[in-house]
Amino acid sequence: MAPRPILIDTDPGQDDAVAILLALAARDTLDVLGLTCVAGNVPLEKTALNARRICDLAGRPDLPVCAGCDRPMGRALVTAEHVHGQSGLDGPDLPAPQMPLHPAHAVDFLIDTLRAYPPGTVTLIALGPLTNLATAFGRAPDITGRLREIVLMGGAQAALGNVTPVAEFNIHVDPTAADIVLRAGVPVVMVPLDVTHKALVTPARNAALRALGTPVGHAVADLTGFFERYNPVRYGAEGAPLHDPCTIAWLLRPDLFASRHVNVTVETQSDLTLGMTVMDWWGISDRAPNTTVLHDIDADGFFDLLTERLATL
């Protein structure tokens, strides 16, 4: 079977970087068509820079990397340097990228790429705020029917929020965009905090990555060991969640996850609950299910997969 074509929309971010590397390490299964960058964890200039640093590390300077939207729809940008450091990739000492930025705007690249492939073949992986996706859907509504599915890291149910009491960061940064994407009629797989808070990088898991003894292994160990990401009071363990790579792991090994198909809507009006993902877990409303929500993970299996795949880069 031919590798599944995927596009990765991203705002690197340590965990974004690991997700990109995992996807690039799965060339037998995934065909990465390009990276589109959005403002999120850090401003757009840094996310576009970081994406190219990761491609260089992986030996993929041929991959198109496009800069996209530099702010959310209708509100000021919220960033997360307090988590990721001022560069967004604090931890490893990665050199400046040698590869150039692709000249196309990320939104144009998404539209053109989706139109170039047969309908129902390309999967879109969204690792940051959904501004690029929502902008592309508004500009070219026909592309929603061309997507196979969207797999996004974002939202929360029982885990509640990590940037407000009820909102997860990616959704909170641009709730309008998230609302547009969830209403677009594209099949969506959501990887919320309920799953990613169980995928913790413990010292033993970090050591296994470093023991690969490769430039990628050392860089990933530095990325996942960056001390500002640890919060044992919140996560109840000596470790930090590895959010974004769970999206790629689901493509490679869906058997590692448990899921439920439910209706998900996004709060876009309330100052108190802005960006909350309201999940109709028990089918109480009359709203039709629109999202496959992952809610559990085999964490040991996930880290075994991550380590085995990264060993090939």
Residue 217: pLDDT over 60: yes
Expressed as residue numbers, the domain containing 195 is: 4-310
- For 105, half-sphere exposure in the C-beta direction (CA atoms, 13 angstrom radius) is 12
Tokens, residue 256: 């590692």
- DSSP letter assigned to residue 63: S
pLDDT range class, residue 235, cuts 50, 70, 90: low
CA–CA dist 143, 145 (Å, integer): 5
Looking at the chain, list the stretches that DSSP marks H as alpha helix, in order from N- to C-terminal side: 14-24, 44-57, 81-84, 106-116, 131-139, 169-173, 175-182, 193-196, 203-210, 215-224, 232-235, 245-252, 299-310
What is the average per-residue pLDDT within 144-159?
96
Q: What is the CA radius of gyration of the chain?
A: 18
Q: Is 208 helix (H, G, I), strand (E, B) or coil?
A: helix
Each residue of 69-95: pLDDT tens digit?
Answer: 999 998 999 998 878 888 889 999 999
Q: Is 218 a catalytic residue?
A: no
pLDDT at 232: 56
pLDDT range class, residue 22, cuts 50, 70, 90: very high
Helices 131-139, 106-116: inter-axial angle, 10-degree rounding: 60
What is the average per-residue pLDDT within 250-259?
98
pLDDT at 225: 84
Q: Which amino acid is at 54?
A: I
On whether the CB atoms of residues 21 and 51 are closer than 8 A, the answer is: no
Q: Which amino acid is at 231?
A: N
What is the average per-residue pLDDT within 253-266?
98
On whether the CB atoms of residues 266 and 183 are closer than 8 A, the answer is: no
Query: CATH number for the domain including 71?
Result: 3.90.245.10
Residue 146: pLDDT over 80: yes
CA–CA dist 207, 210 (Å, integer): 5
pLDDT at 81: 87
CA–CA dist 193, 197 (Å, integer): 6
CA–CA dist 14, 5 (Å, integer): 23
Domain count across the chain: 1
What is the average per-residue pLDDT within 171-176?
98
On whether the CB atoms of residues 105 and 75 are closer than 8 A, the answer is: no
Alpha-carbon dihedral sign for residues 74, 279, 197, 245: negative
* DSSP-derived secondary structure for 94-130: PPPP-SPPPSS-HHHHHHHHHHHS-TT-EEEEE-S-S
What is the average per-residue pLDDT within 20-28?
98
CA–CA dist 194, 192 (Å, integer): 5
CA–CA dist 310, 302 (Å, integer): 12
pLDDT range class, residue 210, cuts 50, 70, 90: very high
CB neighbour burial string for 113-136, b if at least 16 within 10 angstroms, e if fewer: bbeeeeeeebbbbbbbbbbbbbbb
